[in-house]
Amino acid sequence: MDAPRPARPDEFAEVMDFVDLVFRPGQQGRFILQSQYPHAYQPEYARRLILVRDQGQIVGNLAIHPLVLRLGEARLRAGGIGVVGTRPERRGEGIMTALLEDAIRRLRQARYPLSVLGGDRQRYGWFGWENGGVQQVFTLTGRHLGPPSPAERRLRLERFAPHPRVCRQLHKLGREHPCWAERPLRDIPLLFARVGRQTWVCREQGRFAYLVLQRAGRRRQGPYEAIHEAGGDLELARSMIRVLMARYGIDRLSAIAGPNPQEVALYLPGSAHWRRESACMVKIVDLALLLQALGPLLRRRAREAGVGGCFRLVMGEQTGLLDLGPGRAHRIALDEREMVGLFFGIQPLAERFARPAFEKLGRLLPLPLYIPPLNTI
């Protein structure tokens, strides 16, 4: 069996066919995953695909996509892992293990502090990924939102078309969220026209708002079941929700949001209930680089919370120093998954650790890492 290696451009179609074999059995040749994730899987990104061949046949594959995640003033480079798959009849031979170990090595060489993915906690936990980040899921109901008014029914809602002006507005709105994923302007048309989702925009007397709704089962047609993103003028966006729920006879919608005040303000008034949950799985690839990237943010939060001290963090063979100014010195040793919980878990630190050092850090951590659904890979 060959060692894992990046795909060549001339292998792109073959890899996409293999991905469909793994994730959409019986539908090979349609490149379904490529159509569902067009921002990530294009021929020019072929080298992001890492494949393994055995006697000329592809037997395993994964992808490493670069992401930049925003946390206030901090920017975190993350290697997003996608389409981890093994040929069905070859499972249990260690192919996935070889791919993931190779991917971790490549992430370290490329100096990524973090990696993120979506998947099974038990499977990926063996390699250091752990549930992390935070997203909020609101249940919107017609009873709580109320019916659209006559003026709202007259609003002109348009299906998304990639006009430059609309794309620039969507790009600008994304930059205003404190917890988000950076989006190049060139990716906007692909992100907002993904299969299984419908983007609506509304322009009214100088105001602008948009909604991205997911269809049941990610189908091209059919009823809406969730709002995956919304933004712009809050009242106009809320009016759009009322109009679309009435138009399509929807009494209940879920809405996914990050820990961003504007998103919460949009959904909370019309919600029957809500919950917080992990947004993804996170692996700390390079602890020192992570602390370097988060340093300005954590020092600001420490000043605001009146926290000082020097914290030496130990994660296996990796160490990092978090200097928050005058105060006691602390040494904190955690395994990979516990360190993810420290920085990006969903539970307060006081509920996980019972030491004075964690009481101090609990005023700063964990941080609200968030990846919008449109940016998933």
Long-range contacts of 338-342 (CB under 8 A, 24+ apart): 339/284, 339/287, 339/313, 339/315, 340/128, 340/129, 340/130, 340/131, 340/132, 340/282, 340/283, 340/284, 341/130, 341/132, 341/366, 342/366
> Is the bond preceding residue 366 a cis peptide, omega within 30 degrees?
yes
Q: How far apart are the first and last CA of the chain?
A: 27
Mean pLDDT of the chain: 94
Element (H, E) at 212: strand 207-215
Q: Find tokens 């060959």 and name the residue.
A: 2
Q: Which CATH class is domain 5-112?
A: alpha beta
Measure the CA–CA gap between 80 and 182, rounded to whole angstroms: 13
Residue 182 has phi, psi (to 5 degrees) of -65, 135
For the chain, percent of residues with pLDDT exceeding 70: 97
Mean pLDDT of 124-147: 97
Residue 174 has phi, psi (to 5 degrees) of -65, -30
Q: Which two three-digit tokens encode residue 197?
A: 């989702």
Mean pLDDT of 365-369: 97
Measured in whole angstroms, the distance separating CA 7 from the mean position of its chain's CA atoms is: 24
Measure the CA–CA gap between 200 and 97, rounded to whole angstroms: 42
Measure the CA–CA gap between 100 and 61, rounded to whole angstroms: 10
- Residue pLDDT, tens place only, 53-64: 999 999 999 999
Mean pLDDT of 312-338: 96
pLDDT at 29 (0 to 100): 62
Least confident of 65-69, 81-85, 127-131, 212-216: 212-216
**pLDDT band for position 221 (cuts 50, 70, 90):** low
Does domain 136-277 fall into CATH 3.20.20.150?
no
Mean pLDDT of 293-306: 96
pLDDT at 355 (0 to 100): 81
**pLDDT band for position 342 (cuts 50, 70, 90):** very high
pLDDT at 25 (0 to 100): 81
Mean pLDDT of 94-98: 97
Mean pLDDT of 295-306: 96
pLDDT at 200 (0 to 100): 97
Measure the CA–CA gap between 326 and 113, rounded to whole angstroms: 27
pTM: 0.94
Greatest CA span in the chain, whole angstroms?
67
Mean pLDDT of 158-173: 96
Mean pLDDT of 276-287: 97
Q: Is the pLDDT of residue 218 over 80?
A: no
Mean pLDDT of 297-306: 96
Mean pLDDT of 149-153: 97
**pLDDT band for position 34 (cuts 50, 70, 90):** confident
Measure the CA–CA gap between 359 and 349, rounded to whole angstroms: 7
pLDDT at 377 (0 to 100): 86
User: Would you say 38 and 190 are in contact if contact means Cβ atoms under 8 Å apart?
Assistant: yes
Q: Check if 5-112 and 136-277 are the same fold.
A: yes
Q: Residue 112 class from Cβ within 10 Å (0-12 exposed, 13-18 middle, 19+ buried)?
A: buried
pLDDT at 309 (0 to 100): 95
pLDDT at 219 (0 to 100): 60
Choose among 40, 285, 63: nearest CA to 184: 40
**pLDDT band for position 217 (cuts 50, 70, 90):** low
Sequence ranges of the domains in the chain: 5-112, 136-277, 284-361
